Structure formats: structure tokens, C-alpha cells
């Protein structure tokens, strides 16, 4: 029989559609039930909200008022230093090896899908505080092959450094760049200058360091929350109102009051990771 | 069997050589290390025998309950409360890692990697 490969594929394709795909495809077309494009920014309520299926129990979240940080220039750095010090986060002074739990970034990096023409210059040039979003639907957890990254019932996406094998799948999975890899031993020092990566006088002996070959990120201060304290960055921001932390599932919490009365946005809500950090711009 | 007269004695010599370290050192493990116990404490969180043989099992359990289940309930021993933590629990009493942990780990030729991340109390690093 003389049939060209192309013809064979055509026939095979058509019969597949007719046989299996047709009923479902037809139905979708008839009812117009095409699922909303995942790139439609700021679309359906489920995308911009924390999520339709409200989780039960405690559910931690943040509101970050970027206007306060914009007014008080030194405040962000204060929060960053405080967090990095109590968690023994090394400073390699090298962009490539950088480890960060909480840091500042530009508008275009923070809100990739919220760009529009003719926005206020001030908003565009402001710096935005970012950290792990402790997503409700965290892709980093799904990517981790050893379950070193896991989600606690209270919404904290935590890491068990003992189990991390340094495969960096979580880093590839996190759409927010919230994770850093230890290319070098955080306890070591610079070969040239002899400077320790963690300054000796800032070493917190009540919290471990990490070792080379491990991924790390913000742990939402689980060790402090367990003792009834606030996360360090929130404590450092004090009552400036720059950072509000609380239980998203408690209708009487301060964070809920702020969320109910102010317009907030999340980072990349269209990806469906349901971040627990809300920004007032 | 060909050459049985050579193979059998050869095997006996071979096995004898391979097991030489075993029988040469048997019953002679060197003096047991003397560990410095914390002053003023009468009891650890488990009995001595358990701690000697299975402290690593307990540490693993603590790690999992604290980190993964978020259960940080303190452990009580002889009426005192201790945090379920290597640095904030164990090492608060056993404040000299060299004279407690290292003595025995060296003797048993065990190299735990706990200290790659955790701080021993007196370490200047
Ligand atoms: S921000 Fe990234 S690291 Fe944090 S929970 Fe979400 S996906 Fe995971
Ligand atoms: S919650 Fe804690 S660990 Fe996370 S950024 Fe704030 S201070 Fe750092």
C-alpha cells in the first residue's frame, strides 16, 4: 500500500479526535467552558484572593505596607539585618553566592504581572520587601523529592535541613526566588580578606547554621512563634505598621481588619500558588 | 581433588590472616572512656543504659517531633524541665562537648555530623 507518513498521521489524528477527544472537546466548545487562561492577571476572584477553599485552623500571613517602607528608608535594612543575624545567614558579599531570607527588590521583579503603562514614578522606583510567601499551594513542596520542604498545618512552609540533599528542585519550582543555595560553607571565611561570612560578634549560638550543599529560606521564625513571639522582621518593624502579621483564619485578627479595609495585591497570583503575603502599594 | 594438600592449608592461612585483627584484639578494647557528667544533676531524660546505646534515636525523634509536628513540649526528668533540643536542651547540662561527646565518639570511631550546623556550648568556632 502506498501511504505517505503524513497521510497516515492525518488519519490517525482525526480518528483519535473523533473517537476519544470529541465528546469532551465538543462539550467545552458548546458550553463555552474554556478554563480561564492562567495568564489572565487580576482576573477571577479565586486568583486574587487567598483561595476559595479556606483552610481550617490557624493560617499565618503578612500584610506589608510598602508606603511605610518608602517613607522610612532605613527600616527595611533594619528588618533584614535583624532576621539575617538571628538566623546566622551568611554574607558572602558576592551576588552569585548570595543567601537571602528577606530582601528588597524592584517593582518589576516583585509584581511581574501588575505592570501597566503610565504608572506613578514613585511606585515604579520604590523598593519592595519580599520573602518566602509561605504559599497555600506551594510548588516547592511538590518538587522536593525527600520531603525536606514541607507544609505545616498552620501554613508555614518549613524546611528540615537534615533531609535536604541539595538537589535544588525547590529552587527551580519556586516562582519567587525565595530560596538560596549554600555554595560555600557558611561558617568559613573569605580566603583573601580573612573575613568570616557570619560575623563572629553577630553569631547567634541559640540557632544552628546550615552546611554547604543545603538550600535555605525564611522559616517564618517557627522557633520564635513556638515561644509566643512575633517573627523577628515584624518585631523590628515595630508599630510602624509596615509589617502586620497574624492569623488569616481568625476574623477578629488585626491582619483581617487591614485586609478587609484596604486594597492589597499579591505577587504573581495568576500562578495559583496562593501566597500568604499581601502588599499595600 | 587436585592439589588438596596445598589448597586446604592455604585456605586456613588465608582465613587466619583475614581475621587477625579480630582475634588479636579480642577482649582488649582499651580502657573505656571516662565521661564528664554534668555537676549537680542526678538524672537524664532517659536512663543511662538507654542514653548510652540509643541517644541518637532519641535525638532523631526529637528532631522530627519538634520540626515536623511542631510539638515542642518539654521533657521532664527528676522534676526538671528540658527543651527538646540538642543546643538548648542536651548541651545546657553537658556543657563540655570535648569531655562528654568527643571522648566516646573517638573511642567508638563514630563521627556525627551534628556539629556541622549545631553549636557546641563552648566552641569559639
Ligand atoms: S514563596 Fe517559594 S519557597 Fe516560599 S512557599 Fe512559595 S513556592 Fe515555596
Ligand atoms: S519571618 Fe522570620 S525568618 Fe522570615 S523573613 Fe521574617 S524574620 Fe526572617
CA of A135 to the centre of ligand 1 (A): 6
- Predicted confidence (pLDDT) per residue in A126-151, tens digit: 999 999 999 999 999 999 999 999 99
Question: What per-residue confidence (pLDDT) applies to A246?
Answer: 94
Cβ(A134)–Cβ(A178) below 8 Å? no
Dist. CA B115–CA B125, nearest whole Å: 11
For the purposes of burial, counting CB atoms within 10 Å of the CB of B49, is it exposed (0-12), middle (13-18) or buried (19 or more)?
A: exposed
Pocket flag, ligand 2, residue A102 (CB < 6 Å): yes
Measured from the CA of A102, which atom of ligand 2 is nearest?
5
Of the ligands numbered here, which is closest to the C-alpha atom of A155?
Answer: 1
Question: What per-residue confidence (pLDDT) applies to B41?
Answer: 84
Question: What per-residue confidence (pLDDT) applies to B124?
Answer: 57
Dist. CA A89–CA A98, nearest whole Å: 10
pLDDT (tens place) for every residue of chain A, 281 residues total: 556 666 766 776 666 656 655 555 445 444 444 443 334 344 444 444 555 455 678 899 999 999 999 999 899 999 999 999 999 999 998 889 999 999 999 998 999 887 666 778 888 889 999 999 999 999 999 999 999 999 998 889 999 999 999 999 999 999 999 999 999 999 998 888 999 999 988 899 999 999 999 999 999 999 999 999 999 999 999 989 999 999 999 999 999 999 999 999 999 999 999 999 999 99
Say whether A203 and B125 touch across the interface (CB within 8 A).
yes
Say whether A210 and B125 touch across the interface (CB within 8 A).
no
Say whether B68 and A150 touch across the interface (CB within 8 A).
yes
CA of B52 to the centre of ligand 2 (A): 38
pLDDT (tens place) for every residue of chain B, 125 residues total: 688 888 988 999 999 888 887 777 776 667 777 888 888 888 899 988 999 999 999 999 999 999 999 899 999 888 889 999 999 999 988 988 888 899 899 998 999 999 999 998 876 55
Question: What per-residue confidence (pLDDT) applies to B16?
Answer: 86
What global pTM score does this model have?
0.78
Question: What per-residue confidence (pLDDT) applies to B33?
Answer: 79
Question: What per-residue confidence (pLDDT) applies to A54?
Answer: 56
Cβ(A20)–Cβ(A12) below 8 Å? no
Dist. CA A244–CA B25, nearest whole Å: 66
Which residues of chain A approach chain B closer than 8 Å at the C-beta? 150, 152, 154, 158, 160-162, 187, 200, 203, 205-206, 208-211, 222, 226
Question: What per-residue confidence (pLDDT) applies to B95?
Answer: 86
Task: Give, using CA atoms, the residue closest to atom 5 of ligand 1.
Answer: A134
User: What is the torsion angle, in degrees rounded to the nearest 10, for the CA atoms of residue A128, residue A129, residue A135 and residue A139?
Assistant: 70
Question: What per-residue confidence (pLDDT) applies to A87?
Answer: 96
Say whether B117 and A211 touch across the interface (CB within 8 A).
yes
Task: Give, using CA atoms, the residue closest to atom 7 of ligand 1.
Answer: A174
Does B72 reach chain A within 8 Å, measured CB to CB?
yes
CA of B119 to the centre of ligand 1 (A): 28
Phi, psi (degrees; rounded to nearest 5) at B2: -75, 145
DSSP letters, chain A, are ----HHHHHHHHHHHHIIIIIHHHHHHHHHHT-PPPPTT-TT-SHHHHSS-SSPPPS--EEEEEEHHHHHHSTTHHHHHHHHHHHHTT----S-TTT---SEEEEEHHHH-TT---TT--HHHHH-EEEEE----SS-HHHHH-TTS-EEE-TTS-EEE-TTT-----HHHHH-TT---EE-SS-TT-B-TTT--BSS-GGG--TTS----TT-EE---TTHHHHTTTPPPHHHHHHGGGSSEEEEETT-TTSHHHHHHHHS--B-SSGGGS---SEEEE-
Amino acid at each position: 500500500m502506498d501511504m505517505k507518513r503524513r497521510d497516515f498521521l492525518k488519519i490517525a489524528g482525526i480518528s483519535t479526535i473523533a473517537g476519544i477527544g470529541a465528546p469532551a472537546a465538543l462539550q467545552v466548545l458548546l458550553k463555552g467552558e474554556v478554563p480561564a487562561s492562567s495568564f489572565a492577571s487580576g482576573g477571577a476572584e479565586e486568583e486574587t484572593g487567598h483561595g476559595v477553599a479556606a483552610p481550617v485552623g490557624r493560617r499565618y500571613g503578612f500584610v506589608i505596607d510598602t508606603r511605610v517602607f518608602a517613607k522610612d528608608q532605613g527600616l527595611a535594612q533594619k528588618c533584614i539585618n535583624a532576621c539575617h543575624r538571628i538566623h546566622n545567614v551568611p554574607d558572602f558579599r558576592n551576588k552569585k553566592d548570595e543567601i537571602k531570607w528577606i530582601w528588597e527588590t524592584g517593582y518589576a521583579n516583585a509584581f511581574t504581572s501588575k505592570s501597566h503603562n503610565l504608572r506613578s514614578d514613585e511606585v515604579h522606583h520604590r523598593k519592595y520587601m519580599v520573602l518566602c510567601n509561605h504559599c497555600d499551594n506551594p510548588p516547592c513542596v511538590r518538587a522536593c523529592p525527600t520531603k525536606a520542604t514541607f507544609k505545616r498545618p498552620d501554613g508555614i512552609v518549613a524546611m528540615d535541613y537534615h533531609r535536604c540533599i541539595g538537589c535544588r528542585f525547590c529552587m527551580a519550582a519556586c516562582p519567587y526566588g525565595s530560596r538560596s543555595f549554600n555554595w560555600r560553607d557558611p561558617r568559613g571565611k573569605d580566603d583573601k580578606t580573612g573575613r568570616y561570612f557570619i560575623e563572629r560578634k553577630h553569631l547567634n549560638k541559640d540557632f544552628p547554621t546550615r552546611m554547604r550543599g543545603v538550600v535555605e529560606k525564611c522559616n517564618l521564625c517557627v522557633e520564635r512563634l513556638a515561644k509566643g513571639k512575633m517573627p523577628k522582621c515584624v518585631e523590628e518593624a515595630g508599630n510602624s505598621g509596615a509589617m502586620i502579621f497574624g492569623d488569616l483564619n481568625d476574623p477578629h485578627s488585626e491582619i483581617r481588619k487591614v485586609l478587609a479595609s484596604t486594597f492589597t495585591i499579591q505577587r504573581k497570583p495568576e500562578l495559583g500558588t496562593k501566597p500568604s503575603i499581601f502588599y499595600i502599594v | 581433588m587436585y592439589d588438596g594438600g596445598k589448597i586446604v592449608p592455604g585456605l586456613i592461612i588465608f582465613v587466619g590472616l583475614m581475621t587477625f585483627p579480630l582475634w588479636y584484639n579480642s577482649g582488649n578494647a582499651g580502657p573505656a572512656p571516662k565521661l564528664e557528667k554534668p555537676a549537680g544533676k542526678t538524672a537524664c531524660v532517659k536512663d543511662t543504659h538507654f542514653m548510652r546505646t540509643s541517644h541518637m534515636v532519641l535525638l532523631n525523634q526529637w528532631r522530627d517531633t519538634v520540626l515536623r509536628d511542631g510539638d515542642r513540649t518539654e521533657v521532664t526528668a527528676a522534676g526538671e524541665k528540658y527543651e527538646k533540643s540538642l543546643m538548648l536542651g542536651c548541651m545546657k547540662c553537658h556543657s563540655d562537648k570535648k569531655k562528654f561527646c568527643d571522648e566516646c565518639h573517638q573511642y567508638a570511631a563514630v563521627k556525627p555530623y551534628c556539629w556541622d550546623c549545631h553549636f557546641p556550648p563552648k566552641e569559639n568556632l
